[in-house]
């Protein structure tokens, strides 16, 4: 079997969807995802989307991003992120994204390492609401087709040009010929035993880059979120307790009932402080208290967190939340330029699978959705000018494809884990799901 299209997008999170919506409508676009289109980390994002409040706030926003990232950021990428933030938020508003309002304007909250309130949000389900908004808009475009339950296993290459991809759908392999391929397949959290990520997010883009000698960057830059809900004997995804609780005043306490860290320091600093308390006390969590706030306010501002904790027998309006760090975000990835182009011609990477360098070694809170939006639009803008110059390829030989999907998945995971272990001294094999 084979399939021909102008643009092939791997992944249906914010970066893939927003890229598709910014491409020309005369293109035929195929999007694929390994499970449901809603099985992405975007759907789990709680806190919000960072944005410069206005032109005057851009230098401060840049400064906060650089400081959180240990000044290991790509300064050009940071300038683009902050400068182009507001126009993209305005686009989302025009598309019907129901951001929370306050006194007639947007409501802004604050999270770790931001010097002011500049994060827009949809209650505490920003990612889910954003994803649904984008999915609805994508489904209204007749030129965009989505294949769910489709496993992407490799790209097709001729003379360092990507000419399509190999996928397995309903147990059958087939070839997709495309003028341009966009990798928007997410991070690596599903490789970890202790993570807030979807289990399906297993570094597929990184595996494909390794197999095809595509440049990678900063694979050791992996962020642990300080406050995932602690549950005994849990073998599934950890439920995230959004940093926006701390932005709204929640306090961290150790086993002695003492505050031990400033709650809105950068995530890596807070996570290390919590790990220290856990090692010292021998208790595998610390407590995050928000119960001093009015009950109605908690339920209205954080309905998802309230309900999810309640399901577990925990009433956050009356008691503190046991939390501990968990793997959360991948700042490294496939190296890209300012238009999300990889080292291979006609191949782009956007979202968490890409390394724009914007985050440095520690992502500033709520910059993830923003990066997916800003740099996927830049990718689309470049693709819009390039596709007409690319001649559609005709595959001469059908490549051999391993039909055993489980074996393919196992090999891809092993490839990524091996490379992560090689590039980082902080991890060892038992951190990972093999």
Catalytic residue list contains 118: no
Between CA 225 and CA 202 the distance in angstroms is: 18
Locate 259 and state its tokens: 């505050």
Between CA 57 and CA 155 the distance in angstroms is: 41
- Single out the catalytic residue among 238, 246, 267, 301: 267
Mapped onto helix, strand or coil, the DSSP state of residue 431 is: helix
Q: Would you put residue 170 in left (φ > 0), alpha (ψ -120 to 50) or beta?
A: left
Between CA 206 and CA 221 the distance in angstroms is: 14
Between CA 115 and CA 110 the distance in angstroms is: 8
Mapped onto helix, strand or coil, the DSSP state of residue 175 is: strand
- Residue whose tokens read 């290459």: 157
CA 406, distance to chain mean position in Å, is 25
User: For the chain, what is the largest distance between any 2 Cα atoms, rounded to a whole number of angstroms?
Assistant: 69
CA 381, distance to chain mean position in Å, is 21
Cβ neighbourhood burial of 28 (10 Å; 0-12, 13-18, 19+): middle
DSSP secondary structure of 292-304: TS-HHHHHHH-HH
How many other β-carbons are positioned within 10 Å of the β-carbon of residue 381? Answer: 15
Q: Would you put residue 333 in left (φ > 0), alpha (ψ -120 to 50) or beta?
A: left
Helix (H), strand (E) at residue 224 = strand 222-229
Q: Is the dihedral of CA 257, 258, 261, 262 positive or negative?
A: positive
Contact assessment for residue 21 and residue 31, using Cβ atoms and an 8 Å cutoff: no
Contact assessment for residue 59 and residue 348, using Cβ atoms and an 8 Å cutoff: no
Q: Is the dihedral of CA 160, 30, 190, 239 positive or negative?
A: positive
Locate 358 and state its tokens: 């914007």
155, HSE (Cβ side, Cα atoms, 13 Å): 33
CA 367, distance to chain mean position in Å, is 10
Active site residues: 267
């Amino acid at each position: 079997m084979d399939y021909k299209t102008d643009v092939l997008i791997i992944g249906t999170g914010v970066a893939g969807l927003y890229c598709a919506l910014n491409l020309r409508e005369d293109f035929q676009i195929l999007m694929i995802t390994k499970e449901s289109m809603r099985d992405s980390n975007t759907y789990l994002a709680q806190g919000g989307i960072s944005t410069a409040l206005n032109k005057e706030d851009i230098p401060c926003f840049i400064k906060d991003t650089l400081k959180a990232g240990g000044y290991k950021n790509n300064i050009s990428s940071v300038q683009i992120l902050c400068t182009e933030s507001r126009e993209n938020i305005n686009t989302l508003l025009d598309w019907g994204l129901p951001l929370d309002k306050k006194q007639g304007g947007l409501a802004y909250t604050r999270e770790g390492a931001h010097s002011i309130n500049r994060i827009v949000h949809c209650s505490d389900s920003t990612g889910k609401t954003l994803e649904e908004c984008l999915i609805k808009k994508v489904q209204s475009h007749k030129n965009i087709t989505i294949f769910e339950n489709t496993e992407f296993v490799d790209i097709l290459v001729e003379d360092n040009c990507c000419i399509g991809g190999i996928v397995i759908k309903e147990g059958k392999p087939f070839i997709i010929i495309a003028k341009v391929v966009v990798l928007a397949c997410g991070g690596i959290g599903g490789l970890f035993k202790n993570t807030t990520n979807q289990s399906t997010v297993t570094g597929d883009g990184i595996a494909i880059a390794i197999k095809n000698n595509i440049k990678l960057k900063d694979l050791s830059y992996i962020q642990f979120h300080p406050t995932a809900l602690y549950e005994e004997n849990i073998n599934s995804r950890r439920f995230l307790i959004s940093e926006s609780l701390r932005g709204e005043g929640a306090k961290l306490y150790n086993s002695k009932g003492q505050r031990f860290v400033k709650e809105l320091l950068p995530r890596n600093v807070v996570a290390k402080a919590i790990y220290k308390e856990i090692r010292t006390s021998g208790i595998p969590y610390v407590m995050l208290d928000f119960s001093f706030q009015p009950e109605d306010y908690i339920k209205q501002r954080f309905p998802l967190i309230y309900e999810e904790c309640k399901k577990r027998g925990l009433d956050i309006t009356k008691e503190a939340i046991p939390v501990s760090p968990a793997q959360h975000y991948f700042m490294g990835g496939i190296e890209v330029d300012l238009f999300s182009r990889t080292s291979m011609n006609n191949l782009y990477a956007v979202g968490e699978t890409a390394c724009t360098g914007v985050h440095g070694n520690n992502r500033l809170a709520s910059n993830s959705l923003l990066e997916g939006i800003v740099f996927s639009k830049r990718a689309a803008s470049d693709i819009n000018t390039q596709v007409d110059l690319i001649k559609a390829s005709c595959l001469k030989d059908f490549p051999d494809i391993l039909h055993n999907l489980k074996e393919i998945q196992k090999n891809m995971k092993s490839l990524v884990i091996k490379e992560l272990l090689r590039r980082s001294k902080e991890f060892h094999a038992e951190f990972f799901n093999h």
